[in-house]
Amino acid sequence: MCGIVGIVGKEPVAERLVDALRRLEYRGYDSAGVATIHDGTMERRRAEGKLFNLEKVLDGEPLPGTIGIAHTRWATHGVPNVTNAHPHFVEGVAVVHNGIIENFSELKEELIAEGAVFESQTDTEVVAHLLAKYTREGLDHQAAMLAMLNRVHGAYALVVMFADDAGTIMAARSGPPLAVGHGKGEMFLGSDAIALSPFTNEITYLVDGDCAVLTAKGAKIMDFSGRPVTRKSQISQAATFLVDKGNHRHFMEKEIYEQPEIISHALSHYVDFAENVVKQPDAAIDFGSVSGLAISACGTAYLSGLVGKYWFERYARLPVEIDVASEFRYREIPLSKSQAALFISQSGETADTLASLRYCKDEGLKIGAIVNVKESTIARESDAIFPILAGPEIGVASTKAFTCQLAVLAALSIAAGRARGTITAEGERAMVKHLVEMPRIMSRVLNEVQPQIEALSREIARFKDVLYLGRGTSFPLAMEGALKLKEISYIHAEGYAAGELKHGPIALIDENMPVIVIAPHDRFFEKTVSNMQEVAARGGKIIFITDERGAAASKLETMATIVLPNVDEIISPMIFALPIQLLAYHTAVFMGTDVDQPRNLAKSVTVE
């Protein structure tokens, strides 16, 4: 994730900004920059690579000024270099940005037609040009900011300075987090409270749709139409912890809500957002020539692999053999050197997965690692590394690592389809466009369904057993939903393929058995609805998780219906993962369990 810091201060800010950025290094980045205003002039210093490179630049060319913004960039649009590094300047406007501007291509074409000249490859520069345009047209800074916010679409956090106003920083949030820090005669902004902990412990967290105007006297917060809103401040414990929970009760909740931003940065490693194509993956595995894939993992990572199996087989016509690593390692599977193997692990240290990897390596297969820790043992022993870039995941029950694993598998399956000639160039662009839209849709879903799910969790907490059903890629999601619920609430739950209902589980259905059905309106929908009718006929309590088309098509009475936006099948598993994560989380909170550290579980299983 990128890092953002801003200070409206009463003493020089450049060194303080860089120090604050250093506290965000754990988020990952590939370039950095800082800008200040001094004597009516706005200047910046930028550098590729780590912060010490930026510090060297500042040592040679110091930046005076008591107001400034700074940024660590994880490249999305455009390669990591000085030109693409933030802040971006256009006609007295400086912008730093986390996230993705989905409609940047259309906006860029419009601005170029009006005479704008772009210096970088980034989507961020579009924001600076829009602000400059509206300012030229006579709008004041606040009006220009609001006009820009009503033109851009996507998931983003933006921080802006104007050269002719050395006392104000403006900011906006639509997805990625932003925190306002309150000081004595100075104010601060950060993408994480930990960055602000050296300056203040009084924090106000912006919510989606907030625009803030900071001066040394305080912060004015409004919505994107300019109506004032009130946000409470709180005392942050960020100085105590390496990673702060922010305004969330638990790390798991924070990690659920980080997913729109995290996904955008994971995708940036695999997708060319400007061209809507998947970048060439690690050449150590040639998906175009392998005869099949063997996939193995444990727990949630195994379930992401199951979703990947559907994608590789459907989009790349590539046969996939998959099993949990604790079984895979002992099956003595007959394998061919023409195959490749993928191993999925958040930690990269999972003992059974590592043993399965070594078995495949001994059989002569090319090995790929889908991991969150690039320096891990599994990564080091693999031929190709496919990082999920989820950042630190503190909660034992995996959330953002799961959806990042899915995002990487989706990108790899598209790349494999392209290499094997089973996906056309037009088909690839269409699927990638859906991937690019995903962070915005995830942010919308998290905001819209949370109140309903929190209320529903109080009902779920009354039951001792829960069934989850799904077909296609929703079948692994059903198992993931059941796994999450049992992990942190300790309610017994099982996930089944919906077509297997009548082959045993239907015997359990009565008025005391909630059945959670995950059913987007896809090619399996009508068959899944028929399974729901079987549940309803036996008095089962149905919780229906579907999309707008599915809700309109089904006439069954349910205990609750959770309606998500209509989305393409390639992103459906990531979107539908969100309500099942929230349902498990809120149920566990209501029951009073230890959400982040559930009993008997460890984050990384390094023994057999």
Helices 474-489 & 299-315, crossing angle to 10 degrees?
170
If asked whether residues 343 and 465 sit together in one domain, one would say: yes
The reply to whether 603 falls in a domain is no
If asked whether residues 530 and 396 sit together in one domain, one would say: yes
**Average pLDDT for residues 42-61, to the nearest whole number?**
95
The reply to whether 286 falls in a domain is yes
If asked whether residues 262 and 235 sit together in one domain, one would say: no
Other Cβ atoms less than 10 A from the Cβ of 490: the count is 16
Amino acid identity of residue 283, one-letter, is: A
CA 138/CA 474 separation, integer angstroms: 52
310 three-state secondary structure = helix
> Of 196-205, 237-246, 318-327, 411-420, where does mean pLDDT reach its minimum?
237-246
pLDDT of residue 606: 41
Number of structural domains (the chain) is 2
The reply to whether 606 falls in a domain is no
CATH number at residue 88: 3.60.20.10
**Residues 6+ away with beta carbon under 8 Å from 478:** 468, 469, 470, 495, 496, 497, 498, 516, 518
Is 70 exceeded by the pLDDT of residue 119? Answer: yes
Is 60 exceeded by the pLDDT of residue 241? Answer: no
**Residues 6+ away with beta carbon under 8 Å from 211:** 145, 146, 149, 170, 171, 172, 221, 222, 223, 224, 226
The boundaries of the domain holding residue 366 are: 254-591
Active site residue 211: no
Among the residues of 343-498, which ranges form H helices?
A: 351-362, 377-380, 400-420, 425-460, 474-489
Boundary residue ending a domain (219, 245, 271): 245
What average pLDDT is seen over the chain?
Answer: 92
480 three-state secondary structure = helix
If asked whether residues 86 and 152 sit together in one domain, one would say: yes
The reply to whether 601 falls in a domain is no
- Catalytic residue selected from 220, 361, 374, 603: 603
The reply to whether 607 falls in a domain is no
If asked whether residues 295 and 209 sit together in one domain, one would say: no
Amino acid identity of residue 345, one-letter, is: S
The reply to whether 596 falls in a domain is no
Structure confidence by residue, pLDDT tens digits, 184-205: 999 999 987 778 888 998 999 8
Q: What is the CA radius of gyration of the chain?
A: 25
**Average pLDDT for residues 488-504, to the nearest whole number?**
91
Q: Which of 608, 600, 595 is nearest to 397 (CA)?
A: 595
If asked whether residues 205 and 315 sit together in one domain, one would say: no
If asked whether residues 140 and 265 sit together in one domain, one would say: no
Boundary residue ending a domain (224, 245, 266): 245
The reply to whether 598 falls in a domain is no
CATH number at residue 405: 3.40.50.10490
If asked whether residues 24 and 104 sit together in one domain, one would say: yes
Half-sphere exposure of 327 (CA within 13 A, CB side): 10
If asked whether residues 493 and 544 sit together in one domain, one would say: yes
If asked whether residues 192 and 282 sit together in one domain, one would say: no
If asked whether residues 206 and 127 sit together in one domain, one would say: yes
The reply to whether 130 falls in a domain is yes
pLDDT of residue 238: 54
CA 484/CA 313 separation, integer angstroms: 27
Boundary residue ending a domain (198, 225, 245): 245
If asked whether residues 92 and 31 sit together in one domain, one would say: yes
Active site residue 2: yes
- Catalytic residue selected from 2, 211, 298, 360: 2
Structure confidence by residue, pLDDT tens digits, 530-576: 888 888 888 888 999 999 999 999 888 899 999 999 999 999 999 99
